[in-house]
Amino acid sequence: MNQENRTPVHVSIIMDGNGRWAKARGKERIYGHFEGVESVRACTEASVEEGVKYLSLYAFSEENWNRPEDEVVGLMSLMAKCMANELPTFMKNGVKFVVLGNLDRLDAELHAEINRCMELTSANDRLTLILFLSYSGKWDIHQAAKRMVADALASPEAAEKILNSGLSVFDEYLVTAGIPDPDLIIRTSGETRLSNYLLWQAAYSEFLFVDTLWPDFRKPEFRQALKAYASRDRRYGKVK
């Protein structure tokens, strides 16, 4: 958090409620996902305007692969199109685009578009927009543990470093290595759970659960969330 103006450095959002939003309007679930793209755009713009440095979005979990095939296919197609469409805006606004998760499960077309957007925006430094795709917190911890064990077995020097270092050494093996833990995690739609998201990284995050469905969460709602965060006293287990 920026102590001077109490703006969170990293805001993360569990985007929930697209399907219910569409159903309430007599539409297919994919219609809610299309409308949710507008909320992504609004929150990205608001982050730039308010000085947030990292905005991360939980777009698709490992568990979401169990959804109906037509919805999954539609979502993946939508993501590829949105990345291509938003690239000029990313460049204009200095947005670095990053996708994290178990990307081996993605199809070749989407994977290629992700790599293209990440490469072209890699030098931008006004805001880092992180999309968590095919991600789960348990998977992240598991893959980090496997990589850490492999390093320890391969090198005595690495093993000594791992054994003699604090918890921060584990951070280096998570997919979020180099990214600050979220100061604020917002979940839309009235649900009050993490849903297997950033289980390690959320240890000292502030949580805000709002009833607003994701397609209705725009700049005013985002700024209200920042205001609520600014009113909180973060002590990290200490006494002030």
Q: What is the pLDDT of residue 234?
A: 77
Q: What is the pLDDT of residue 22?
A: 96
> 104-127: string of b/e by CB count within 10 Å (b at 16+)?
eebeeebeebbeebeeebeebeeb
Name the pairing type of β-strands 95-100 and 127-135.
parallel
- Token pair in block for residue 188: 């839309």
Q: What is the pLDDT of residue 2?
A: 47
User: Is residue 104 among the annotated active site residues?
Assistant: no
User: Is residue 151 among the annotated active site residues?
Assistant: no
The answer to whether 65 and 105 have CB atoms below 8 angstroms apart is: yes
- Among the listed residues 5, 64, 85, 125, the single catalytic one is 64
Mean pLDDT split into 10-residue runs, the chain, 240 residues: 73 96 94 94 97 97 91 89 93 97 91 95 98 97 97 94 91 97 98 97 97 98 98 73
The answer to whether 66 and 77 have CB atoms below 8 angstroms apart is: no
Nearest to 176 by CA among 86, 84, 54, 90: 54
Residue 209: alpha-carbon gap to chain centroid = 16
* DSSP string over the chain: -BTTTTB-SEEEEE---HHHHHHTTT--HHHHHHHHHHHHHHHHHHHHHHT-SEEEEEEEEGGGGGS-HHHHHHHHHHHHHHHHHHHHHHHHHTEEEEEES-GGGS-HHHHHHHHHHHHHHTT--SEEEEEEEEE-HHHHHHHHHHHHHHHHHH-HHHHHHHHHS-THHHHTTSTTTTSPPPSEEEE-TT--S--S-STTTTTT-EEEE--S-GGG--HHHHHHHHHHHHTS---TT---
- Among the listed residues 2, 5, 16, 124, the single catalytic one is 16
- Token pair in block for residue 109: 């077309």
Nearest to 57 by CA among 89, 10, 21, 20: 10
pTM exceeds 0.85 = yes
Q: What is the pLDDT of residue 184?
A: 98
d(CA 150, CA 239): 40
